[in-house]
Amino acid sequence: MSDEKKPKKKIFDFSTLSRVFSYAAPYKSRIYWSIALSILLAVLSPLRPFLIQVTINDYIRHGAAQAVIWMTIFQIVLLLAETIARFYFSFATAWLGQTVVRDLRVDVYKKILGLNLSQFDTTPIGTLTTRTINDIEAINDIFSDGLIPIIADLLSILSVLAFMFWTDWRLTLVCLAPFPFLLLATWLFKESVNKSFIRVRNAVAALNAFVQEHITGMAIVQAFAAEKREEKKFKKINREHRNANINAIFAYSVFFPFVEIILAISTGLLVYWGATRVYNLPYAEALGLSGKIVSFFLYLNLLFRPLRVMADKFNVLQMGMVASERVFRVMDNDDFIKTQGTYAPARMKGKVEFDKVFFAYTGDRYVLKNITFTMQPGQTIALVGHTGSGKTSIISLMNRLYQIQEGEIRIDDVRVEDYDLAALRRNIGVVLQDVFLFSGSVVDNITLRNDQISIEQVVAAAKLIGMHDFIMRLPGGYHYNVMERGSSLSLGQRQLLSFIRALLYDPSILILDEATSSVDTESEQLIQEAIDKLIAGRSSIIIAHRLSTIRKASQIIVLDKGEIREIGTHEQLLAKGGFYAKLHEMQFSKHATAERKAS
């Protein structure tokens, strides 16, 4: 999902356009209704100038006052009918565009939800936000201001030209003499604005990515006094956005006055042609010719009205097509879990086997090499090792957040690939080191807005972990808004809430990834007591830097640079005097030194 590409030289890709319109297929009646209205408007538009010509030539010329009144009333009715038809045409195209956007946005978000985590490791969040919001919104313009309105304008132009040539083809050619200059200006305007719009879209994506990333990491920016540097970077991106918009504004500022000049020249030619003929004619014939001149003046305005915006609408269509290509690149991304079984047990026994597993996030740069171990049901396994040794990668593979390259992972003697993905992940509870809380209430974050979980179950889980009293002290209790990312709570409190979440879902296999690293001694004691209750009779995998928290583990797996160095109990590994013993000695000597300094 790489970022922006240069626009294609061809007008637009019909395959992409047909794919966009496939989302409008369920609403064919609206498309047919829009096309019918566009045809009706094309017929109605030139009727009024024609009727005015008839009124002047046939009624005013002969003094038929009563007929003039009735013709005027008929034209007013015709104008009202055209206004109503134009309203329904605009509403129908806008409704169609917004409905397609709604359906497409749901599909894109559903697609994003199913992508492998590796996509989010390499793609800026702001870019995906742009795809889901800005680019999809641009697709709406294909319907409301793009293809269908362009077709309607073309039909209107052809209809007006047909009436003009039918009335007087020589006068029509005289009035259209400046048109080659208009066509050239329109083409230059289209190219200029198209390039500017591409730059604007690129700048918008860059702005979204930059702002999203830096607001999320604002604590780091401020902690390292990097505000000025980041402000300069933002100004540079924002300047590019401004310049792109200014270029587009400049093109509009030149084009629209030029169109008015061409219209003025055409009108001048019309007036000159009429003046050279009316001057020596008798009154009755001059009045008849005046009807033709008046109708042609109105025809020219009807002709230039869509031409003024035609190039702009064509650019809108092109931008909608560019946005469509970007959105469909997300839809066509095949980096998702392709193989998924159907085995969906209500509950697992908890046996876990890694058999010669190799895994790399990218290419052949393996972060796990030949990982082999077995955890029996009800056992507790601890994973220890230096940062980057592969501990978190192991647990990420168990619930298939990533796909292994070699080997096999089995749970209850069934390959993880053969499990239904939802059933697999439902049976594996995870408490991560980096706790993420969504904007919403405490109970929403604990239940993840699952309506099937009652408030009584939430309270019971909170009491088990010893968090009930703390939650009740919050304003609103369980309905207290934790704000975005849980910013109104401390790290320890967020960790405890995530632990309640894992308790509530009662998983068959529990994974604790540095679950006590962000809490103080008192909170850690509360969690440790709850862990003892929770892991009783349940398969558990614990990742911890604090070796004191894993002494009760059935076996400890020591990892180094993606490989298993040692496996055994706490006592066995200490007696062995190997890698684990060194880690233990190093950690506790540091603690002893820290305590001496503190005293």
- 589 in a domain, yes or no? yes
357: CATH? 3.40.50.300
Beta strand residue intervals within 68-206, DSSP E: none
Domain shared by 408 and 508, yes or no: yes
Coil, strand or helix: which one is 87?
helix
How far, in Å, CA of 449 to CA of 467, rounded?
19
29: CATH? 1.20.1560.10
How far, in Å, CA of 50 to CA of 168, rounded?
12
User: Maximum CA pair distance of the chain?
Assistant: 125
- 478 in a domain, yes or no? yes
DSSP-assigned beta bridge partners for residue 511: 430, 541
- 341 in a domain, yes or no? no
- 561 in a domain, yes or no? yes
Coil, strand or helix: which one is 206?
helix
DSSP-assigned beta bridge partners for residue 559: 385, 564
How far, in Å, CA of 21 to CA of 8, rounded?
20
| φ, ψ dihedrals at 128, nearest 5° | -65, -35
Give pLDDT, residue 3. 46
Measured between alpha carbons, how far is residue 225 from residues 3, 219, 236, 500 in Å?
Answer: 30, 10, 19, 36
How far, in Å, CA of 303 to CA of 120, rounded?
51
- 343 in a domain, yes or no? no
- Provide the whole-model pTM: 0.68
- 6 in a domain, yes or no? no
Domain shared by 104 and 203, yes or no: yes
Q: Determine if residue 119 is left, alpha or beta; phi over 0 gives left, psi from -120 to 50 gives alpha, anything else beta.
A: alpha
Report which secondary-structure segment, H or E, holds 357.
Answer: strand 352-360
Give the residue numbers spanning the domain of 127.
Answer: 17-331
Beta strand residue intervals within 536-596, DSSP E: 539-543, 555-560, 563-568
Average pLDDT for consecutive 10-residue bins of the chain (599 residues)? Answer: 45 74 88 90 88 80 78 89 91 90 87 75 68 80 82 90 90 88 81 75 78 74 77 86 82 82 88 74 64 86 82 76 82 74 87 92 85 90 84 86 88 90 86 74 83 84 80 85 70 76 82 66 65 74 73 85 88 85 72 47
- 344 in a domain, yes or no? no
Domain shared by 151 and 206, yes or no: yes
How far, in Å, CA of 503 to CA of 497, rounded?
10
Domain shared by 457 and 578, yes or no: yes
Question: Of 456, 408, 433, which Cα lies nearest the Cα of 545?
Answer: 433
Domain shared by 27 and 169, yes or no: yes
Domain shared by 295 and 203, yes or no: yes
DSSP per residue, 401-456: SS--SEEEEEETTEEGGGB-HHHHHHTEEEE-SS----SSBHHHHHHTT-TTS-HH
Domain shared by 308 and 399, yes or no: no
Domain count along the chain:
2
Give pLDDT, residue 4. 44
- Inter-residue contact 270 to 171 (CB < 8 Å): yes
Domain shared by 313 and 435, yes or no: no
- 153 in a domain, yes or no? yes
Domain shared by 220 and 315, yes or no: yes
Pull the structure tokens for residue 477. Answer: 């209790």
